[in-house]
């Protein structure tokens, strides 16, 4: 089959959509008008996208519930928000680990107890890790696999279940951070990739169910490319084997999520150009797998470089770094 013609068609179509999309950025004034006084629950708020989103929402007058595992990191974020001018009583923190799914209901209950309602759910938390599945025994451990799915999928579902009725009272909105790795395969990220594929399958189906029941709640799935937060940069093995167009700004990404509360798209793809290129390559390039492997191959190695990937990805320093920073590394169950 000749893939050139359909590939050219999809690239042209994607380019036209990208440049002529009717969706335009909202002004700061519009954001403040919509967000001032709204109650926003942000899960995964101690760093990265969640942290930056908290700063931006607070700047527009939103009341925030910040959730993450590490209380010390949450305290720093809360202190910074208040330092920037937010009222002390408008920001609370909740420390918990979403590998215990029963905590999802507690998070919603504490939000209601403090603010009396909920307008916007940001389900952003995830266990992020890399490593070749066949070479790392801990990735094959059934208990470890189950824990990752509890954090990356099941807890998000439980948050949606417990938040929905309260969001419906305020015509609210739910946002779930997924990934382009939920649409295409990602080398050395088989478990992470599988949780994101499952997340997409569930929440795109839930969108249809909300529409069918004529719910006042809308739902956006964030299909994100590589957002180089500090934590993510430090976890990437042996440099950054990613093209420039695949990487996005933390500030722009967070702004897009915040705007999605108002525009309510079904999918938020960022960076958009990365979404177009990756999707087109996956569906129409018969050598997609080979290209990805070559991009990750350490320089100077022979063959496909799998041995070198294994050695660099399982070094002692890398294991300690993964376990210390994210809490989901080897030996940390």
Please tell me the predicted confidence (pLDDT) of residue 8: 64
Pick out the chain residues at pLDDT < 50: 1, 20-23, 238, 316-317, 319-326, 331-333
* Contact criterion met (CB below 8 Å) for 123 and 175: yes
- pLDDT (tens digit per residue) in 274-326: 888 889 889 888 899 998 888 888 778 888 888 887 777 655 445 444 443 34
Residue 155's contacts (CB-CB under 8 Å, 6 or more residues apart) are: 98, 99, 101, 103, 104, 125
- Which one, of 115, 99, 122, lies nearest residue 173 by Cα? 122
Please tell me the predicted confidence (pLDDT) of residue 324: 35
The residue from 192, 261, 270, 328 that is catalytic is: 192
242 given a catalytic annotation: no
Long-range contacts of 29-33 (CB under 8 A, 24+ apart): 30/262, 31/60, 31/258, 31/259, 31/262, 32/60, 32/61
Q: Are strands 247-248 and 173-177 parallel, antiparallel or unpaired?
A: unpaired
Please tell me the predicted confidence (pLDDT) of residue 20: 45
Residue 189's contacts (CB-CB under 8 Å, 6 or more residues apart) are: 129, 130, 181
Please tell me the predicted confidence (pLDDT) of residue 135: 87
pTM above 0.85, yes or no: yes
CATH number for 24-291: choose from 3.40.50.720, 3.20.20.10, 3.30.1330.10, 3.30.450.40.
3.40.50.720
Q: Are strands 39-43 and 120-123 parallel, antiparallel or unpaired?
A: parallel
Please tell me the predicted confidence (pLDDT) of residue 157: 97
Cα 117 to chain center, whole Å?
Answer: 24
For residue 262, count CB atoms less than 10 angstroms from its CB and return exposed for 0-12, middle for 13-18, buried for 19 or more: middle
Residue 286's contacts (CB-CB under 8 Å, 6 or more residues apart) are: 3
Please tell me the predicted confidence (pLDDT) of residue 303: 86
Please tell me the predicted confidence (pLDDT) of residue 306: 84
For residue 225, count CB atoms less than 10 angstroms from its CB and return exposed for 0-12, middle for 13-18, buried for 19 or more: buried
State how far the Cα of 226 lies from the Cα of 287, in Å rounded to an integer: 22
- Which one, of 111, 223, 226, 254, lies nearest residue 172 by Cα? 111
**HSE, side-chain direction, 13 A CA sphere, residue 284:** 16
Token code pair at residue 135: 């070479």
Paired residues of 248 in beta bridges: 227
For residue 205, count CB atoms less than 10 angstroms from its CB and return exposed for 0-12, middle for 13-18, buried for 19 or more: exposed
């Amino acid at each position: 089959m000749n893939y050139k013609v359909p590939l050219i068609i999809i690239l042209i179509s994607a380019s036209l959509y990208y440049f002529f999309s009717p969706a335009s950025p909202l002004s700061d004034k519009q954001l403040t008008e919509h967000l001032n006084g709204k109650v926003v629950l942000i899960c995964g708020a101690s760093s990265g996208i969640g942290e930056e989103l908290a700063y931006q929402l607070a700047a527009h007058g939103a009341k925030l519930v910040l959730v993450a595992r590490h209380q010390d990191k949450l305290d720093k974020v809360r202190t910074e928000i208040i330092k920037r001018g937010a009222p002390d009583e408008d920001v609370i923190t909740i420390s918990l680990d979403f590998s215990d799914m029963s905590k999802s209901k507690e998070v919603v209950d504490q939000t209601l107890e403090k603010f009396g309602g909920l307008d916007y759910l940001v389900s952003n938390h995830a266990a992020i890790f890399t490593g070749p599945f066949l070479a790392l025994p801990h990735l094959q451990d059934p208990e470890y696999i189950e824990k990752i799915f509890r954090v990356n999928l099941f807890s998000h579902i439980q948050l949606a279940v417990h938040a929905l009725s309260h969001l419906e009272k305020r015509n609210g909105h739910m946002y779930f951070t997924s990934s382009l790795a939920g649409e295409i395969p990602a080398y050395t990220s088989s478990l992470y990739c599988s949780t994101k594929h499952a997340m997409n399958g569930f929440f795109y189906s839930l969108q249809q169910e909300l529409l069918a029941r004529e719910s006042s709640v809308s739902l956006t799935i964030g299909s994100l490319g590589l957002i180089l937060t500090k934590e993510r940069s430090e976890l990437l093995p042996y440099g950054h084997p990613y093209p420039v167009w695949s990487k996005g700004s933390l500030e722009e990404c967070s702004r897009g999520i915040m705007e999605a509360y108002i525009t309510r798209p079904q999918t938020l793809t960022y960076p958009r150009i990365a979404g177009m290129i990756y999707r087109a390559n996956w569906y129409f390039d018969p050598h997609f797998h080979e290209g990805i492997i070559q991009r990750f191959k350490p320089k100077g190695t022979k063959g496909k470089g799998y041995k070198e990937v294994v050695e660099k990805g399982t070094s002692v320093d890398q294991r300690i770094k993964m376990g210390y920073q994210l809490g989901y590394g080897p030996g940390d169950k």
